[in-house]
Amino acid sequence: MLTNVTGAEASIVKTASVDGVAYANNVELAGDEETMYWRMEITTANNGVTIPTLRMTDPVPGRVGYSGGTPAVTVTTTPTTWGSCPNLPAGSGGGQLDCGFTNVPPDTTITVDFAVQRPVTAGLLTNTASLASPNSILTASGGGQLSDSASVDVVQRVDIEVTSKTVQPATPRVGQPVEFIVTVRNNGTDSVPAGELRLIDTLNTNSALPLVAYEVLGATGPNMDCSASNFAAGQVSCINTNSVVRNTTRTVTIEARILKPTGPMPDDGNVFAGQTNRADVELTDPANLCEFRTGSTSCNDATSQDNNFAEITFDVQVPEIDMQQRKESVYPAGQTAFGFGDQLQYRFRIQSVGPSRAEGIVMTDTLNVPSGFSLVLSGGPQNVNAAAAEGGFSLDTTKNGSLSCSQAGANGVVTCQLSSVDADNYLDPNREVNFELAFDMTPATFGELPLLATLH
């Protein structure tokens, strides 16, 4: 029966490196570095005692991908006189490194090295190695220890990409509302922290230039804040409000309307052909966050950023306008017809079917008054947008205070405008303005007169 050896003393020092040359207890693996190196240095005391069996164990973290992957990672033991460590199995994703040495003499140094790839995610990676013996009463050498740890602080690495940009409708018309939909994805191994991702898009707002111009109406997206945008200048800027974890996306929808060019337009076909709009994504603090992808040689280099934009090319066609008008009698409460002496009241609806914005809108109401009668408009428009919009339309309440109507004398044509200001006299697609006009008729009679309303 083997008796435990007494007086056996040993020590282990665990260190790490990012270049395989300079080793330390704590090192930082930068975003553009791929490999980390671990070293265990075992020493025995110079006390004349040989250790029959000495074991070193190292529970390699499971989140470490082995450098090289296939075949198994080589674990180097120097020297191999008293034993060696086995290689780490390929693709095991971690596990126990178990090394055995026999008859290790005093005053001996054994060094064990292996290299692994950066982990899947960033953070502080700590690795601990320990010494033990089944047949010796093992104690730590003076100033040493039987277990030691080293750490690698793995810096974050991201890869942001504009995966798509689309425009709806695909071939818009002058005066038509459009939506640009931009999708950004984090292809990297780590999350992009809140406030670190910025989506930018600039749309031309000068209609005097020989290219499509826009009125930018807004930009929104889940978990994105676009309040830093300057829509009047066509500048869209949106920031992520929470972390964009790996392999997830953010989408921003930019709403705009295509402006009418200052110069002449053709009668049909394209007004602008092959128009291009580009969206970009960037890191707000690239000094503290590494963008890196396959082929990159350093953080935030040209290769890492060559997927940071997307473009959409489209044609812009001449405007297409479809207006319609509705007119109905508004009878006094409880009546189904106008009675003797009643004021004649009518509700008008001006509706834009689109797809382009209708501008310079004028509605006329021609009064077909029989001989001997007089019909006079009683004041201006009443109950503007008081009625619910008809199906498929929504009310344009911005015209509540600007709508005006006038009559060219008794029995004359009634003319209405949504606004007396040319720039405001418009109606966007799928919008409606409704109002009522009242007429006084003399001499008083029963019933109502045929009135013809037109819109142009």
d(CA 404, CA 419): 7
Q: What is the pLDDT of residues 63-120, one digit of tens each?
A: 455 444 445 788 999 999 999 999 887 655 556 899 999 999 999 999 999 988 888 7
pLDDT given for residue 92 in this prediction? 52
pLDDT above 60 (res 121): yes
User: Are 228 and 339 part of one and the same domain?
Assistant: no
- 88 in Cβ contact with 60 (< 8 Å): yes
Nearest to 196 by CA among 239, 238, 159: 239
* 187 burial level (CB within 10 Å; 0-12, 13-18, 19+): middle
Q: Examine the domain organization and report whether 310 and 339 are in the same domain.
A: no
Residue 66 or 360, more confident: 360
The pLDDT of residue 455 is 56
Q: Above 60 in pLDDT, residue 263?
A: yes
pLDDT for 204 beyond 80: yes
- CATH number, domain containing residue 83: 2.60.40.1510
pLDDT in tens, 325-358: 999 999 999 999 888 888 999 999 999 999 999 9
Q: What is the DSSP letter of 74?
A: P
Per-chain mean pLDDT for the chain: 91
Percent of the chain with pLDDT over 90: 79
Question: How large is the average pLDDT for residues 404-411?
Answer: 93
Residues 113 and 211 in one domain: no
pLDDT the model gives residue 379: 83
Q: How far is CA 141 from CA 5, 81, 144, 286, in A?
A: 15, 21, 5, 47
Distance of alpha carbon 278 from alpha carbon 360, whole angstroms: 33
Q: Which helix (H) or strand (E) holds 428?
A: none
Model confidence at 1, pLDDT cuts 50, 70, 90, reads very low
Residue with tokens 């890196």: 292
Structure confidence at residue 184 (pLDDT): 98
Of the listed ranges 118-127, 223-232, 390-399, the least confidently predicted one is 118-127
Do 329 and 306 lie in one domain? The reply is no
The 8-class DSSP code of residue 302 comes to H
CATH of the domain at 296: 2.60.40.1530
pLDDT tens column, 427-452: 999 999 999 999 998 886 655 555 55
Pair (17, 95) in one structural domain: yes
Q: Cβ-count burial of 308 within 10 angstroms (0-12 exposed, 13-18 middle, 19+ buried)?
A: middle
Residue 290's pLDDT is what?
94
Whether 37 has a pLDDT exceeding 70, the answer reads yes
Give every CB contact of residue 402 below 8 A, 6+ residues apart in sequence: 418, 419, 420, 421, 424
Using CA atoms, how far apart are residues 131 and 40, in angstroms rounded to an integer? 11
Of the pLDDT bands very low, low, confident and very high (cuts 50, 70, 90), residue 142 is confident
Both 172 and 256 in one domain: the answer is yes
Domain limit, last residue, from 249, 283, 317: 317
Domain end point (choices 317, 345, 372)? 317
157-158 and 290-291 strand pairing: parallel
Whether residues 300 and 400 share a domain: the answer is no
Rounded Cα gap, residues 437 and 382, in angstroms? 6
* CA distances in angstroms from 222 to 229, 238, 242, 252, 253, listed in the order given: 16, 11, 10, 8, 10
Q: Measure the CA–CA gap between 41 and 144, rounded to whole angstroms.
A: 11
Please, what sign has the CA dihedral across residues 256, 257, 258, 259? negative
Are 146 and 276 in the same domain?
A: no
* Residue recorded with tokens 């080293």: 150
User: Where is the domain boundary, 317, 341, 372?
Assistant: 317
Tell me, what's the pLDDT at 63?
Answer: 45
**Four-point Cα dihedral 174, 175, 176, 182, nearest 10:** 80
Beta carbons within 8 Å of 220's beta carbon, 6+ residues apart? 226, 252, 253
| Number of domains observed in the structure of the chain | 3
**Mean pLDDT of the region 298-316:** 96
The mean per-residue pLDDT over the stretch 371-399 comes to: 94
- In this structure, are 177 and 304 located in the same domain? yes
pLDDT of residue 91: 56
Q: Mean pLDDT across the stretch 383-394? A: 96
Global pTM value: 0.79
Same domain, 366 and 310: no
Are 174 and 318 in contact by the 8 Å Cβ rule? The answer is yes
| C-alpha–C-alpha distance, residues 131 and 452, integer Å | 102
Segment 147-195, tens digit of pLDDT: 999 999 999 999 999 999 999 999 999 999 999 999 999 999 899 999 9
CATH of the domain at 386: 2.60.40
pLDDT score for 117? 84
Q: How far apart are CA 278 and CA 439, in angstroms?
A: 55
Question: DSSP string covering 153-222, please?
Answer: EE--EE-EEEEEEEEESSS-BTT-EEEEEEEEEE-SSS-B-TT-EEEEEE----TTSSS--EEEEEEE-T
User: Is residue 428 within 8 Å of residue 359, measured between CB atoms?
Assistant: no
Together in a domain, 97 and 224: no
What pLDDT does residue 448 have?
56
**pLDDT number for residue 266:** 94
343 and 312 fall within a common domain? no
Provide the token pair at 262.
């200052």
The boundaries of the domain holding residue 420 are: 323-455
